[in-house]
Amino acid sequence: MSLRLKSKTKLNYSGLHHSSTASELEIMEWRSIRKRKDVYQAEETLAEKRIGKRTFYLIKWLGWGSEDATWEPACNILDAAIIQFWECPAPEMRQVSFYVERLLSCFEASLKERLRSVKQLDFPVSIFRFLFNGRGLDKKRGYKSLNKDDFDPQWFPKDWHTGLINKRGTKTMIRFPIVMRSFLSKSPKLFQKQKSGEILERKRRIIQRITVTIVKDTFNSY
């Protein structure tokens, strides 16, 4: 969450236990949440989905883990800034720099490997949207096809897509487009033994990730 939103007066979100649409959408298992004076405070939006003409947002609630996130219509969210931050992300710049470095390390590793590589990284959806929303070509199932010009030079240095020349004079370069997708996955299944001796599955956290598909070209530089 940006500093601008953190500094805002705390606002609450009503009707969670009455009007959550998680079971209706059949996207994630309903997690019952105990009442807190009938109001709840949202922390961030994790995803968006349209059902017919209505838009629903996957909301992570302040003080609750990502495993308790629920799908909510916009009318259940009283602070418009939460939706505004989803539409136009403004994360902290040091966070953006940290994850751009992770992405650059992924590109560098791919240039040293086989001709085609597919990698997964833990990567916040807000930062992915900040870097690439409105850029590239949107494809099916949330995939995005990105050319060199879609990588902002403010964050990606010159020649980031090229590798070093080896002793044989062979140079490697990333072949564009790069195909990326931001998605949500669940943590591995864990089980916990209760005092009664019954073994129950623990709630699974939601993890924000991206997949990066890279194809490289090799050629003789001499």
pLDDT of residue 40: 82
Of the CA atoms within 13 Å of residue 163, those in its CB half-sphere come to 26
Better-scored residue on pLDDT, 186 or 163: 186
Q: Where are the domains of the chain?
A: 40-87, 93-220
pLDDT of residue 210: 97
Cis check: omega of the bond before 124, within 30 degrees of 0: no
Better-scored residue on pLDDT, 91 or 78: 91
pLDDT of residue 22: 39
Provide the pLDDT confidence category of residue 27 given band limits of 50, 70 and 90. very low
**Over 50: is that where the pLDDT of 36 sits?**
no
Mean pLDDT of 77-82: 87
CA dihedral 93, 95, 98, 100 (to 10 degrees): -70
Contact 201, 221 (CB under 8 A): no
Total-model pTM: 0.76
Alpha carbons 165 and 142: distance in angstroms, whole number:
35
Residues with Cβ < 8 Å from 26, sequence gap 6 or more?
Answer: none
pLDDT of residue 141: 87
pLDDT of residue 112: 85
Lowest mean pLDDT among 22-31, 107-116, 204-213: 22-31
Q: Which of 181, 179, 161 is nearest to 171 (CA)?
A: 161
> For 101-133, what is each residue's pLDDT tens digit?
999 999 999 988 878 999 999 999 999 999 999
Alpha carbons 62 and 16: distance in angstroms, whole number:
13
> For 129-185, what is each residue's pLDDT tens digit?
999 999 999 998 889 999 999 999 999 998 898 876 666 667 889 999 999 999 999
pLDDT of residue 29: 38
Q: What residues are paired with 114 via a beta bridge?
A: none
Q: What is the CATH number of domain 40-87?
A: 2.40.50.40
Angle at CA 160, nearest 5°, toward 46 and 212? Answer: 35
Beta pairing, strands 13-14 & 39-40: antiparallel
Alpha carbons 184 and 169: distance in angstroms, whole number:
41
